[in-house]
Structure 1
Amino acid sequence: MKHTFTKAAAVAALVAGAMFAVPVAASAYTPEPSGETSTSTVAPGGTFTFFVQDDAFVPSEPVSISLTGEYASGASLAFVKFAVETKALGTTTANAGGGTDNVRITLPANASGTYTILATSPSNPVGAAATVTVGTATNPGGTDDLATTGADSDALLTLWIGGGALLLVGGGIAVATAVRRNKHQADAA
């Protein structure tokens, strides 16, 4: 009887360990192809180039380029701005390597905030993206001095692994305590 309980406890500990290992493996992140810009900060009305690394698209296929960002002439309510729009800039052709060559993009004269450039194609509808931030003479970095919010995936992974390890240790202690209690009761009888 006491060997059956020990075996059951060992199986339960293995199952609990597997329950934490599977979500960690399933959440492995595979980065998508990324786009790049010639500069990270652009003045309103400024021009920059955008390109995508090779193997993002099928060679010679059409690649659509779009721009998402805020126009200063749009409406705003308090600090919430509603002028974010997406504009299809046009289509280019993927190069022989499956990327895009330099695409020149000019921002509007009333540009402000951050702009996202997205390149998509029939073979890669998710596409590749990059961002540029509009800077001014008084704010050359283009940042708003606001705190960054959101979750850091590396920190979350550490929490999941640490929490799983603590749960396994706690389960092991509970199993060991139960085994010792059963052995003590068996010896007393």
Structure 2
Amino acid sequence: MLKKITAVFALALAGLFVAPLAANASYVPGADIVVSGNVAPGGTFDVTFTDGAFQPNEDVSLALTGENATGATLAAVDTKTLVKTASATGSVVLTVTLPTNATGTYTVTGTGLSSQLIGTITVTVKAAAAGDGAGNGGLADTGFNTPAFLVWGAAGAVVLGAALIAVFVMIRRQRAGVAA
């Protein structure tokens, strides 16, 4: 009986630590992607995959997806996808110039062709009239700002609760079997 309870708790505890590792196995962490510049119709901005985002000197396929993306240019290249080589530290910078009729959200994806690491960031184009009047606008807020430890803590609490319910059901069935 005690072995079963110990096994259930060990599995629940292992799930708390293994699941987050598996979920992030092949993605570039969001903190390793920085957007700077003017994300507005006709604006130009840089997407920087910081040091260590990819393997050193690795070829990285970069893609831009979004409404009216066909009118955008990527670092003065006339295609919507391109391959760049990461620096010796594994960083890549992509310069995006949006079309003047840009609206909605745009997603920039970088995929390491050797490591298969994937980095994705989505930006929202702000209205053309936005900014401080001098053409300098800030970036749109495009993310979920809840700390990861809160999300994983809540998931762990749910798993622990389910394990406790399973243990209590087993104990109840065992006591009912003994009483009969």
TM-score by length of 2: 0.64
Identity between Structure 1 and Structure 2 (%): 30
Determine the structure 2 residue equivalent to 1:47: 44
Gaps of 5+ in 2: 71-78, 132-138
Q: Secondary structure at the match of 1:171?
A: helix
After TM superposition, list the pairs within 5 Å mapping 1:1-80 onto structure 2. Answer: 9-29=1-21, 30=24, 32-33=28-29, 34-39=32-37, 42-71=39-68
Q: Secondary structure at the match of 2:67?
A: strand
For 2:124 and 2:83, the matched residues in 1 are separated by 23
Q: Which amino acid aligns with 1:161?
A: A
Deviations 1:67-88 (A, max 9, x none): 0111299xxxxxxxxxxxx931
For 1:111 and 1:154, the matched residues in 2 are separated by 35
Q: How far apart are 1:160 and its partner, in Å?
A: 3.8
For 1:72 and 1:50, the matched residues in 2 are separated by 16
Contact 1:62 1:121 in 2 (8 A): yes
Q: How far apart are 1:115 and its partner, in Å?
A: 0.9
More strand by share: 1
After TM superposition, list the pairs within 5 Å mapping 1:56-135 onto structure 2. Answer: 56-71=53-68, 87-88=80-81, 90-100=82-92, 102-135=93-126
Q: How far apart are 1:113 and its partner, in Å?
A: 1.0
CA RMSD, Structure 1 to Structure 2 (Å): 3.8
For 2:8 and 2:112, the matched residues in 1 are separated by 43
- The 1:17–1:93 alpha-carbon spacing in structure 2 relative to 1, beyond 3 Å, is same
Runs (4+) of structure 1 exceeding 3 A deviation are: 137-143, 152-157, 169-179
For 1:117 and 1:72, the matched residues in 2 are separated by 11
Determine the structure 2 residue equivalent to 1:161: 157
For 1:87 and 1:139, the matched residues in 2 are separated by 26
Q: How far apart are 1:62 and its partner, in Å?
A: 2.4
**Count of aligned positions:** 153
- The 1:103–1:158 alpha-carbon spacing in structure 2 relative to 1, beyond 3 Å, is closer
Q: Which amino acid aligns with 1:53?
A: T
For 1:63 and 1:158, the matched residues in 2 are separated by 35
- The 1:92–1:177 alpha-carbon spacing in structure 2 relative to 1, beyond 3 Å, is closer
Gaps of 5+ in 1: 1-8, 74-85
- The 1:172–1:55 alpha-carbon spacing in structure 2 relative to 1, beyond 3 Å, is same
For 1:49 and 1:127, the matched residues in 2 are separated by 18
